[in-house]
Amino acid sequence: MELSKFLSELLQAYAGPGLTLVSFAAATLLPFSSEAALMGAIWSGLSPGEAVFWASIGNCAACAFNYSLGYWFGKKIEERISESKTYSGWAEKMSRWGYWALGFSFLPFVGDPITVLSGFFRQKFWIFVLIVFSLRILRYLALAYGFRP
């Protein structure tokens, strides 16, 4: 079964909790849009407040999961790639931009890898949570209340 069809069916069958699972999957490196799922849930009858709540739980939990992956596997991977030009470039960018890089964590395509890199480079988790979770929730609020049919 195609991933997007499976996630759409999950959303339809389980409403809010389904939106949480879809939003979690979308915030990992899977190619699926939690924004589309949020709007689909609202257009299907879920209130904007409920949709933001459920999507935020899943999306923020996945961001914490991504951070954890980077944190747990970072040192093992770093030993293997420390001589890589790509690694050197990312390390330099993360050291230069630091927590400011988290300001881009809500963006499609680049946001989820930034959450992994934040853990990889051992940024403080409480700052990560404050910035990333706030931006993700604000994005959902803007979509839910700004683009209603």
Question: Taking phi first (over 0 means left), then psi (-120 to 50 degrees means alpha), and beta for anything else, what does residue 98 get?
Answer: left
Question: pTM of the predicted model, to two decimals?
Answer: 0.82
Q: What is the pLDDT of residue 40?
A: 85
**Matching residue, tokens 């403080």:** 124
Residue 140 has pLDDT above 70, yes or no: yes
Based on its alpha-carbon atoms, the radius of gyration of the chain, rounded to whole angstroms, reads: 16
- What are the boundaries of each domain within the chain? 3-146
Render pLDDT for 63-79 as a digit per residue (tens, 0 to 9): 999 999 999 987 777 66
Q: What is the pLDDT of residue 148?
A: 58
Residues in the chain: 149
- Going 115 to 119 to 123 to 126, the CA torsion angle's sign is positive
Render pLDDT for 1-41 as a digit per residue (tens, 0 to 9): 565 566 566 666 667 888 898 889 888 867 778 888 898 88
Q: What is the pLDDT of residue 33?
A: 84
